[in-house]
Amino acid sequence: MEKREQLYEGKAKKVFKTDDENLYLVQYKDDATAFNGLKKGTIQGKGVINNKVTNFLMQMLEAKGIPTHYVQQLSDRETLVKKVEIIPVEVVVRNIAAGGLAKRMGLPEGTPMASTVLEYSYKNDQLGDPMINETHVYAMGLATPEEMKAIQSYALQINDILREYLKEADIDLIDFKLEFGRTSDGTVILADEISPDTCRFWDSTTGEKLDKDRFRRDLGNAEGAYQEVMKRLMGE
């Protein structure tokens, strides 16, 4: 597979064209950002961990009937994925109050939610990814009602599958961000990544944070937390 021109560089990944017009190559970086890019730094080795953890979880989700963009891991940092048009609606799935939700609602961090919360943001770095609701989505033509129905259904299924799986690794899934894309025939599939960058993982026993909050909140040893997640999930 030949890597061609770079299409995009985000906060955590670069995306390249390949010699197959239906496939892209994603390359994971060690760069870390928080607060919409206001805080910048590096978490040594996180690109390798996020690549491996994402691919591992996506293959597991595929086996349970969730369509994803994953095709093949090419190296420690590079993965081949299906070409999709990203739907500019980020989905945050919340099981326990933390971060922005705890702040907005005045809830103590760690408060379990009586039911799963789905939140939507308009994927736009310039605007700081503002929160939106379904009526915004339709008014702005970001996705169709059919697409949003698929996104909601997949998000809740993914949450159930991951929560159950992570519990066995003694990890609580507090909340996480998902992105979806459209394939050339209009099918909605899971894209982007599922990693300690995009999920809040807490140790089920101690409540220790095993995710990007260690960088975001200057808690120290972010590298160790990312490695711990990979070790518990994949034995690496």
Instruction: Report d(CA 170, CA 229) in Å as an integer.
Output: 10
Taking 90 as the threshold, does the pLDDT of residue 109 lie above it?
A: yes
Q: What pLDDT digit, counting tens, does each position of 52-103 carry?
A: 999 999 999 999 999 999 999 999 999 999 999 999 999 999 999 999 999 9
pTM of the model: 0.96
**Tens digits of per-residue pLDDT, 11-27?**
899 999 999 999 999 99
Which domains does the chain possess? 3-82 (3.30.200.20), 85-220 (3.30.470.20)
| pLDDT at res. 225 | 98
Q: Which long-range contacts (CB under 8 A, 24 or more apart) does 114-122 make?
A: 116/156, 116/159, 117/93, 118/91, 118/92, 118/93, 118/94, 118/152, 118/155, 118/156, 119/91, 119/92, 119/94, 120/89, 120/90, 120/91, 120/92, 121/89, 121/90, 121/92, 122/88, 122/89, 122/90
- CA nearest neighbour of 6 among 21, 20, 27: 27
